[in-house]
Amino acid sequence: MTNLSLLLEHDRDYVWHPYSAMGTKLPVYPVKSAHGVRIKLTDGRELIDGMSSWWSAIHGYNNPRINQAVKDQLQDMSHIMFGGLTHQPAVDLAVQLVELTPEPLKTVFFVDSGSVSVEVAMKMALQYWHAKNRPAKNKFLSIRQGYHGDTFGAMSVSDPINGMHSLFADTLVQQFFADAPNCGFEQSCTEADISPICAQLQNNHQYIAAIILEPIVQGAGGMRFYSPEYLQQIRKLCDQYDVLLILDEIATGFGRTGKLFACEHASINPDILCLGKALTGGYMTLAATLTSYKVAQTISTGEPGLFMHGPTFMANPLACSTGLASLKLLLQSPWQDRIKQIERCLKAGLEPCRNFNLVKDVRVLGAIGVVELHRPVNMQLIQPQFIEAGVWIRPFNNLIYLMPPYIITTDELTILTNAVTTIISNIQE
């Protein structure tokens, strides 16, 4: 038995992959290395990465500047507990995040993953209202077709019917939901778009701690883009009904939509902001929850006089140093021009898909390109076809989408979009 076949056998027997069944017949592809936007498989084939490793590797792989930051930090310490101690990478990263994010966000709570940043945001909102002696405000309002993570609090505010977590419906805390808006990114927000969430606030604001939603782009819940006007209306409603606004920018933060943060399209500010994914350029798991002095001080002066959360690996120095290097690399690059060029290429390259009967919609925003089909894809059939085309694209449900690294070239984007159009044409026949 070769090393490769043994690896695959052990993977099949012992390893559980995300959203998979043990013993599944869906293929997995062993990776030997990755550099730039190319993934090198153990069998020698190279794939152009269209996924940025689930939207996080915005600089591609093996970037020398980030590599050096990791090596330098290793010489001092890879980890130290954050309870009662602090260190330069965490402080510097917190300062950088406060400088980059909208007012009035001033405080940073570091966590390990995007899902946990959502959990922390929810706990902040609950403790805020408890400290204000309004404990009845202990529910959350969100819009359908959203996704906020796989932990229990995050699952409870994700789409309760059509989302990935309907199996747990009877176990989760019951939250309030409103229909998602139908206004596209470049469309106006109508009364029909805003009235469902307005009605929920009118009827239940006394129980609602916060609205939580993904600004502009609903990610894993359907890759839907909606109007900035809708987000502006949400901010006004939160102020009107005395409800906090939590924005989940885990997928959209750090330039993906063409703005550094998606909420900038609407020129609005959240009370609490969740960040993750691209925070370290896809190198390490790190996320953050930011909030205002108002929220932080209210929590800190209420019972029990502190915020009730503290991950073991909170503010890991290695991850914080990596995050600093990634942000510096992003800010010193012509990232806005790169995103605009990616957007142009995605629009031109995916437009032919509209001619296929199998295709329901094609939409592009920033460095996000989506082809929505009328039916779910057959992963066992379609994934090997992408591999044979020399690209790494991982569809889900009825969506074939691209979210490539920002350093990708026009020629590499053309290979990606050609693979999408060709393979959709093949499976349609």
Q: Which helix (H) or strand (E) holds 360?
A: strand 359-365
Catalytic one of 61, 128, 147, 401: 147
**Separation CA 242–CA 260 (nearest Å):** 28
Q: Which two tokens stand for residue 181?
A: 């808006």
Active site residue 170: no
Active site residue 147: yes
In the block, tokens 């969430």 appear at: 197
Catalytic one of 49, 277, 283, 401: 277
Q: Which two tokens stand for residue 103?
A: 């007012």
Catalytic one of 112, 193, 248, 271: 248
The torsion region of residue 426 among left (phi > 0), alpha (psi -120 to 50) and beta comes to alpha
DSSP E strand stretches across 156-262: 176-178, 208-213, 217-218, 224-225, 244-248
DSSP E strand stretches across 85-243: 105-111, 139-143, 176-178, 208-213, 217-218, 224-225
Residues 6+ apart with CB under 8 A from 34: 40, 49, 60, 61, 62
**Separation CA 415–CA 314 (nearest Å):** 40
Catalytic one of 13, 14, 19, 337: 19
Active site residue 248: yes
Smallest Cα–Cα separation from 337: which of 254, 262, 406, 265? 406
Active site residue 139: no
The residues carrying an active-site annotation are: 19, 147, 248, 277
